[in-house]
Amino acid sequence: MSPHAFRVIQPGLHTTVQDLGRVGSQRLGIPVSGALDSLALRAANVVVGNAQNTAGLEIAVLGPVLEVETSSVRVAVAGDGARLTVQHTDGSSREVAALESIRLIQGDRLRVTASTGGSVAYLAIEGGLALPPFLGSLATYVRGGFGGLEGRALAAGDALTLVRGEVDSRQELRLPGFDLAPVSEIRVILGPQDDYFSATAIRDFLSMPYTVTQDADRMGLRLEGAKLEHAKGYNIVSDGIAPGSIQVPGSGQPIVLLSDRQTTGGYPKIATVASADLAALGRVRPGMVLRFRSVTVADAQAARRSLEARMANLAGALVAVRPEGPDLERLYDANLVSGVAHAHDQDTWRHHP
Amino acid sequence: MVDRAVSDQVIALADAIEAKAIPGIVELVPTFRSLMIHYDPLRVDAADLKAAVEPLLGGKGAVSHRARLFTLPVAYGSDFGPDLAEVAERTGHSQDDVVRLHTAVTYHVYTLGFLPGYPYMGDGPEELSLPRRESPRLRVPMGSVCIAFRQAGVYSLESPGGWHLLGRTPVRLFDTRRENAVLLAPGDKIRFEPVSHDSYASLAEAAAAGHLDIRPTGVPS
């Protein structure tokens, strides 16, 4: 038994270590990577008392099962509809909602039920993971075989070494009202190569629905919708790619580039997603419909600043988790106040006075 | 479209911006004929950043003082360069002539991209200029030395690829075990030097063990 570790019992479909990305090496062809839904990872970190850029686990579709092989550890999960199921050694188990911390002890098993609304969920661990950074980051880039745990997704039997082998018993916390639902309206700044498209293409891009296809991964989302006509061909001399660049190859179907995007590319880019909307885009699932709305650079900057002002104060929004009995705030969250019972939350229902 | 003088200007601009240490700039990515500036909108306003960078434009395009010359050993032909014979045939040269032409040029690293540490280089001899292969290979081995049109490259990792493979270098352009995982930088100069398949094998062994130390052989004039 290795000390200070989580043992991976089941790895889940594609679980990787991610932080907020490997910035500073793009000129060497090294992609930034990092969490697809950076807001979810940051919020989960706040709940366990970490700095927001601490690396955690990014969980896609099917979550992992982990066993605690250290004396104690504190975790929280984030993601639209994500939750934890904890199985204790005495056979009892309990469910923990998203954005709520819990302290686990040796022998406990933790199953992450991945997000039911979005495509990704995150597990934050108090203190973080004891892994060697590569170029200043723990973000896993599987294509290049570096970052995270040996540059790959988790596998059964892996030991995930933790920075902290034990954590204090203290009041557990939760973050109410932090919405991680996917959004369908995405703000974009036109360009840098919007002049490569016909006026009709620009109009269609900003007014028609685009569906996320099955071809969606950490590198980007292939969309399907009205074909975007190029006005000057579809080859440019390769240039730099921003997070959220929307490139349009010869097919006329846009591709939104996400965390594992290449650093340079040779297709014209019709628009770039406003940075304030990147995390929301990182959590969309195949089949969802997106609409793009054009904003100015000044608007995009203002949106990002207001988002970051809120993120900077996230710790102030934490509330205590009540250990026993009904929790009025949670009942309100569960919509009982409007007379609609939350059918999935059996405990809340039972404890309702 | 792709021009070395423009590339020198791009790299010189990157150097000038870096020297000014303008607050809010996250990183710079020099490409063939443009410089990507990634900035933090919380620390600097786009308009202010533009105003700070604009005076630095139109530099004389002096070759970057950091330019280094690397000489990469290459085993040409056979399994190392499965397209050497075809390139020779299609361009009307002997295989030896292709190697001679390919090694006669000092290449310029325009930009890195496609793969971590992959150099887009130019400008190769006009005599060897061919469009990309019609059907890309699914697996091109790491170290493959390749050409397309007048561009040249070296696969820094195994990857799919559609360029013509002339040979293979044992030098790892990307190796996470090294302090500088990426060997090359935009603006560097590269020469290729033919080596026997035997010396390739011993160099490759050293590279696999992490002992192959490739240093710049001098700064080109």
Instruction: With a cut of 70, say whether residue B162 has pLDDT above it.
Output: yes
CB–CB contact A28 B115 (8 Å): no
Q: Tell whether B113 is within 8 A of chain A (Cβ).
A: yes
Full residue range of the structural domain in which residue A91 is found: 5-174
Residues contacting A130, CB < 8 A, separation 6+: A4, A161, A162, A163
pLDDT at residue A1 is higher than 50: no
Question: Model confidence at B2, in pLDDT bands (50, 70, 90)?
Answer: confident
CB contact under 8 A, A237 and B2: yes
State the residue range of the domain holding B201. Answer: 69-208
Of A31, A146, A262, Cβ closest to residue B176: A146
Subunit contact B46:A135, Cβ cutoff 8 A: no
Burial bucket for residue A73 (CB in 10 Å: 0-12, 13-18, 19+): buried
Q: Is the confidence at residue A222, as pLDDT, over 80?
A: yes
- Bond prior to A192 in cis (omega within 30° of 0): yes
| Residue A324 CA, distance from chain mean position | 30
Measured between CB atoms, does B112 come within 8 Å of chain A?
yes
Residue A137 gets which letter from DSSP?
B
Same-domain pairing of A198 and A166: no
CA dihedral B189, B194, B195, B197 (to 10 degrees): 120
- Mutation site for B-interface testing, chosen from A263, A269, A278, A307 by largest number of B Cβ within 10 Å: A263
Instruction: List the one residue out of B115, B114, B162, B118 whose CA is nearest residue B137.
Output: B162
**Is the same domain home to A86 and A190?**
no
Say if residue B112 is in the same domain as residue B137.
yes
Alpha carbon of A181: minimum distance to chain B alpha carbons (Å) = 25
Residues B49 and B110 in one domain: no
Query: How big is chain A by its Cα radius of gyration, in Å?
Result: 21
* A195 shares contact with chain B (CB less than 8 Å): no
In a domain, B54, yes or no: yes
Q: From CA A176, how far away is CA A113, in angstroms rounded? A: 19
Cα A287 off chain centre by: 18
With pLDDT > 90 as the criterion, what percentage of chain A qualifies? 84
Predicted local distance difference test score (pLDDT) of residue B217: 78
* CATH number for position A223: 2.40.100.10
- Would the pLDDT of A159 be above 80? yes
ipTM: 0.91
Number of domains making up chain A: 2
What tokens were used for B105? 């040029």
pLDDT at B69 over 50: yes
Q: Are residues B196 and B91 in the same domain?
A: yes
Q: Give B-chain residues touching A305 at CB under 8 angstroms.
A: 41-42
If pLDDT is split at 50, 70 and 90, which confidence band does B174 have?
very high
Out of B15, B38, B59, a domain closes at: B59
| Domain match, A29 and A167 both | yes
User: Most B CBs within 10 Å: which of A22, A27, A131, as the mutation test of the B interface?
Assistant: A27
Assess B138–A contact: CB distance below 8 Å, yes or no. no
pLDDT digits (tens, 9 = 90+) for A95-151: 999 999 999 999 999 999 988 888 999 999 999 999 999 999 999 999 999 999 999
Q: Indicate if B201 and B137 belong to the same structural domain.
A: yes
Assess if residue B32 is contained within a domain: yes
